[in-house]
């Protein structure tokens, strides 16, 4: 039986990947400190005899060494993610994303274990050379802007991985583009789809940053997991970097309208300045679109799920799982708000709880 280590297995992409690996019969070892992942994401597997959970951080050398030694294949998906999270916790994020990844890669090299490294479309920074190809130049803003620390950190991880690769390690690097789907965490990462769905459920304004003309390519989780699996199986992928994403673009304003439609929410759409959300010093990527021809050619990667369909599936999951979905539909004009949701809402607005 193949033994697979998934770091960050309690996180969003990691937990979906583990579902697939367990389904196909692998033994899966999940290493996670639940800083952004949740035990809820792995709850269905806790009784599976082919599943083992190790509670620990990728910064802990001994724990990582033990996990890596016991595995045949490694998916390194543990990271501090989410732009808002990075901006608010820069030091911890840099440590986890750089030292943590260096730790996992060094152990993979030491024990000669194939590794699939999760990187990010964020490494392209704010480049306007579109669509993004793996070999393209990157364009990052100044180091005084914390947002770019994530791109810089992931780029260092890629350099490390490629150089361990040149010294004989089997390694594949994957750059993900705005992945979403069931289990997007409404609180931990603050990504835009999670945010809009929560706001739509609560009947709050959907907060579009700036003019809403910024463009992203939202990529549905099952398409991405299929690409990850192929990347781990195809020999020609070793030593290579791949964009994994759905190349269909959407502006953030269009996304807000789609979320309103799918949730049948009466929330207004409100344009807010970036600084209200991220603080004074912030820069955004205006347009982010992947060129996926390399992934198509070598991995036979093909995204199937449209944004409309992906949003329907995601909203259905969020209705069952978000605390904010507890708020009842407005009945005879006046919504009755359950106390827990109300307290949460007041806290978010920074209002006193008395």
Q: Which residues are catalytic?
A: 150
What do you get for the CA distance between the two ends of the chain, in Å? 57
Whichever of 165 and 181 has its CB closer to ligand UDP, that residue is 181
- The piece of 57-65, 67-75, 204-212, 317-325 that touches ligand UDP (CB under 6 A) is 204-212
Q: Which two tokens stand for residue 95?
A: 């440590």
Interactions with ligand UDP, residue window 73-132 (CB under 6 A):
83, 122
Smaller CB distance to ligand UDP: residue 198 or 294? 198
CA gap 103, 105 in Å, rounded: 6
The token pair that represents 64 in the structure block: 């990582």
Distances in Å between the Cα of 272 and the Cα atoms of 117, 259, 264, 330 are 35, 18, 22, 26
DSSP label at residue 336: P
Q: Per rule CB under 6 A, is residue 284 in the interface with ligand UDP?
A: yes
Q: According to DSSP H, which parts of the chain are helical?
A: 12-23, 39-42, 61-69, 83-88, 90-94, 101-111, 147-166, 192-202, 221-233, 252-263, 274-278, 293-299, 307-321, 339-348
60 Cβ contact list (under 8 Å, min separation 6)? none
The region of 37-45, 166-174, 191-199, 303-311 touching ligand UDP under the rule CB under 6 A is 191-199
Is 224 near ligand UDP (CB under 6 A)?
A: no
Q: Please, are residues 157 and 98 in contact by the beta-carbon 8 Å criterion?
A: yes
Using rule CB under 6 A, residue 172 touches ligand UDP: no
Residue with Cβ nearer ligand UDP (12 or 164): 12
Smaller CB distance to ligand UDP: residue 234 or 269?
A: 269
Contact string 248-267 vs ligand UDP (x = CB under 6 A): ----x---------------
Give least dist CB 119 to ligand UDP, A.
13
Number of residues that bind ligand UDP (CB under 6 A): 13
Give the burial class of 15: count Cβ atoms within 10 A of its Cβ; 0-12 exposed, 13-18 middle, 19 or more buried.
buried
Binder among 7, 149, 179, 191 for ligand UDP (CB under 6 A): 191
Binding residue for ligand UDP (CB under 6 A) from 98, 192, 221, 289?
Answer: 192
156 burial level (CB within 10 Å; 0-12, 13-18, 19+)? middle
Residue 198 touches ligand UDP, criterion: CB under 6 A: no
Q: Interface with ligand UDP by CB under 6 A: which residues?
A: 83, 122, 178, 191-192, 195, 207-209, 214, 216, 252, 284
């Amino acid at each position: 039986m193949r033994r697979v280590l998934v770091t960050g297995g309690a996180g969003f992409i990691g937990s979906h990947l583990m579902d697939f690996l367990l389904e196909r019969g692998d033994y899966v070892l999940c290493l996670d400190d639940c800083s952004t992942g949740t035990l809820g994401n792995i709850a269905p597997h806790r009784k599976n005899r082919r599943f083992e959970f190790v509670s620990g951080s990728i910064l802990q050398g001994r724990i990582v060494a033990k996990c890596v030694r016991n595995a045949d294949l490694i998916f390194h998906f543990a990271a501090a993610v989410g732009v808002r999270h990075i901006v608010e916790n820069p030091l911890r994020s840099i440590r986890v994303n750089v030292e943590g990844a260096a730790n996992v890669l060094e152990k993979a090299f030491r024990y000669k274990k194939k590794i699939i490294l999760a990187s990010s479309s964020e490494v392209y920074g704010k480049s306007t050379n579109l669509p993004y190809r793996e070999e393209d130049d990157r364009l990052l803003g100044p180091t005084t802007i914390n947002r770019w620390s994530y791109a810089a950190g992931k780029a260092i991880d890629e350099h490390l991985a490629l150089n361990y690769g040149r010294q004989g390690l089997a390694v594949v690097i994957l750059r993900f583009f705005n992945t979403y789907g069931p289990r997007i965490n409404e609180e931990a990462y603050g990504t835009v789809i999670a945010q809009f769905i929560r706001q739509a459920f609560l009947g709050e304004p959907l907060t579009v940053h700036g003019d809403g003309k910024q463009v992203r390519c939202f990529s549905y989780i099952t398409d991405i997991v299929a690409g990850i699996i192929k990347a781990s199986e195809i020999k020609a992928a070793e030593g290579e970097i791949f964009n994994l994403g759905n190349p269909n673009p959407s502006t953030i304003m269009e996304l807000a309208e789609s979320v309103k439609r799918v949730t049948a929410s009466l929330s207004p759409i409100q344009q807010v300045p970036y600084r209200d959300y991220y603080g004074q010093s912030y820069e955004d990527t205006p347009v982010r679109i992947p060129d996926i021809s390399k992934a198509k050619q070598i991995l036979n990667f093909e995204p199937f799920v449209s944004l409309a369909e992906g949003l329907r599936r995601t909203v259905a999951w969020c209705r069952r799982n978000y605390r904010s979905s507890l708020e009842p539909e407005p009945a005879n004009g006046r919504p009755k708000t359950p106390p827990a949701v109300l307290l949460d809402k007041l806290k978010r607005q920074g209002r006193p709880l008395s």
